[in-house]
Amino acid sequence: MLSEGLLFKEDVILTWMRERFLRNLVSNARAMKSDLKESLSRLQLNPYYTFPVMALVEPTIPFEDEHEKIIYLEQIRDYMQKKMTEGSVVFVDEEGRIGMLFSWVSKESIEKMQTMLKEQFLHSFNVGVGKPCSQLYDIVHSYRQAARALQYKFYSGTGKINYFSELGRSESLQTYPSDKEKQLFDVYKAAETTAEIQESVHFFYTELLHHGPIDTQSVYDVTVRLLVGIEKRVLSETEHVSMYERFDVMSIVKLATLDEIKQYVIHFLIGLKEVFSYNQKESHRSIIKKTIHHMEQECQYVSLQSVAQKVYMTPTYLSLLFKMNTGKTFIEHLTDIRMDKAKDMLKSTHYKNYEVAEKVGYQDPRYFSQIFKKKVGLSPSEYRETIGK
């Protein structure tokens, strides 16, 4: 009778031989010289499959130590082998993922296994499932498809089962969306809250993927270019740059999902906003000061469009900026300026009411009188009489 130590040693060797064989099988089954069924039987593995198919499983938790990861994956492999339906095979592949070779007729076991893994190891697992094959020699195709399906966690999120047969085609991005970057920056400049920054980032990526998923490398490339572009735009409009947390390209490429990328971009832009805000506020104060100066000097003919042109802004943005910084709309403030000038003229000149109306920008004397009474509480004539007493 074999000793317990020798039995253990033989069991370890058998496991190692199985792992090596299965890794070779999913690399290129047709290149293997021996008969597959005979080899599987010799390794005490099931040689018969009804439409063989591959699935790949990976834990969602990160590992700092490679040795620790290997030990953990082996624990998962051993647990799965005990729980999988009879005839299925489980192994650790070259990429550090759990491979599952099984018959398509028992595909319902995938969801059950994912649930059991979560209950046993107390965290979620990503699963990618390839398409079934007609024969075992073609299993390499199912394996590659499973790997592609596993990568789709980038879009679907972690802890999901992704089937290759359900994936849409992803294209590479041909041109960088410079117009979308400019649009994001304009909204970002005007944003007053974190929620507005978050919304602008989500909108950028929604537009980027408007026609469907693009390959993940393109998303990483676009993200890096976006952050470089926004940073340059901010710094070009900022006189005094204070300390801020710069983005790290290596940190970006390590992000596993689109949602993680979005959150990284949002976090960076929020930090950069603090640098931009002081200079932006100073710039806004200067613009509003110039705007009010033009309003006071040219109140007879001034308009939002004419002032916006002089301060090099769009009327819409100037209107928003004016309200944010003064608490009044452009028209409300212009009306106050006109009424103050009208009161001065009524006090110190002999201009008739219609002449005062024209000089402060009102062609209709009756409308001027209505506005004046609403603001001052007296008609222009009553006001002049009160002042003269």
Q: Into which CATH architecture does domain 283-388 fall?
A: Orthogonal Bundle (1.10)
Answer yes or no: is pLDDT of 52 > 80.
Answer: yes
**175, containing H or E segment:** none
Q: pLDDT-derived band of residue 8, with 50, 70 and 90 as boundaries?
A: very low
Answer yes or no: is pLDDT of 31 > 50.
Answer: yes
In the block, tokens 């769009």 appear at: 314
Q: Output Rg (C-alpha) for the chain, integer angstroms.
A: 36
β-pair type (98-103, 161-163): unpaired
Intrachain domains 10-166 and 283-388 with the same fold: no
The domain spans of the chain are 10-166, 178-280, 283-388
Q: Give residue 29's pLDDT.
A: 66
| Interval 17-46 mean pLDDT | 81
Q: Give residue 241's pLDDT.
A: 56
Which superfamily does 10-166 belong to? Reverse transcriptase/Diguanylate cyclase domain (3.30.70.270)
Q: Give residue 386's pLDDT.
A: 87
pLDDT tens profile 185-241: 888 887 878 899 999 999 999 999 988 889 899 999 999 999 999 988 888 876 655
Joined together, the tokens standing for residue 205 give: 């990526």
pLDDT tens profile 259-309: 999 999 999 998 888 766 655 665 677 888 899 999 999 998 999 999 988
Give long-range contacts, CB 8 A cutoff, 24+ apart: 266-274: 266/194, 266/197, 266/198, 266/201, 268/227, 269/188, 269/197, 269/201, 269/230, 270/194, 270/197, 271/244, 271/245, 272/230, 272/231, 272/234, 272/244, 273/188, 273/191, 273/197, 274/242, 274/244
